[in-house]
């Protein structure tokens, strides 16, 4: 795909969203069913993933860890976003990889210490990109990827989560 193809693909959507702003508001959904033991089966749209406890909280390591899934979602979103941005601004990416890692202190998760927050303390997102881009273009690629990556923006800016228990 090239920049022209991407613009042709997205132009009708951009026009629709400008003329009918409410049509741009889409609700994405995820569903999981509580499984055997301490697990949750999540439909990803392409497969069924069964998540369970991380070994640091008593899991056996066989089931997917939701923390890993969060990092995987970040990597996937960043990878798609950087590819689209590169096409849009005319940068050829010959090859590239994205790696995410995050630090957790499980004393918070397990309630060992109320002073330790639950969740990632730090997430590092590293890109290795082989391209024909100048340093200035790479800076634009970085800035635009961070700006338009949904998962990155959600994590860095936080979001309001409303819960309902029936």
Kindly report, residue by residue over 60-114, the tens digit of the pLDDT.
889 999 999 999 999 999 999 999 999 999 999 998 999 899 999 999 988 998 9
Going by the DSSP 8-state scheme, the letter that residue 117 receives in this structure is P
Per-residue pLDDT of 20-36, as tens digits, reads 988 888 877 777 787 77
Domain positions in the chain are 3-157
Buried b (16+ CB within 10 A) or exposed e, 121-151: eebebebebebebeeeeeebbeebbbebbeb
52 CB burial (10 A radius; 0-12, 13-18, 19+):
buried
Q: Which residue has the higher pLDDT, 29 or 146?
A: 146
Whole-prediction pTM: 0.86
95, 82 contact by CB (below 8 A):
no
Q: Which two tokens stand for residue 46?
A: 């392409």
> Considering the domain 3-157 in this protein, what is its CATH number?
3.30.300.20
The Cα 87–Cα 115 span in angstroms is 46
Residue 27 β-bridge partners: none
Place of tokens 């509580």: 34
Place of tokens 């639950």: 118
60, 38 contact by CB (below 8 A):
no
Rounded CA Rg of the chain: 19
Banded model confidence at residue 7, pLDDT cuts 50, 70, 90: confident
Q: Which two tokens stand for residue 20?
A: 């009918």
């Amino acid at each position: 795909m090239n920049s022209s193809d991407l613009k042709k693909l997205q132009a009708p959507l951009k026009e629709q969203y400008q003329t009918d702003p409410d049509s741009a508001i889409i609700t994405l959904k995820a569903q999981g069913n509580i499984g055997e033991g301490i697990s949750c089966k999540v439909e990803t749209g392409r497969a069924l993933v069964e998540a369970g406890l991380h070994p640091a909280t008593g899991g056996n390591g066989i089931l997917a860890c939701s923390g890993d899934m969060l990092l995987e979602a970040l990597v996937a979103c960043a990878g798609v976003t950087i590819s689209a941005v590169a096409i849009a601004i005319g940068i050829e990416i010959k090859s590239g990889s994205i790696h995410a890692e995050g630090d957790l202190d499980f004393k918070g998760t397990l309630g060992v210490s109320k002073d330790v927050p639950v969740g990632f303390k730090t997430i590092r997102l590293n890109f290795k990109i082989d391209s024909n881009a100048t340093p200035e273009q790479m800076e634009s690629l970085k800035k635009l990827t961070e700006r338009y990556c949904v998962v990155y923006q959600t994590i860095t800016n936080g979001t309001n989560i409303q819960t309902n228990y029936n």
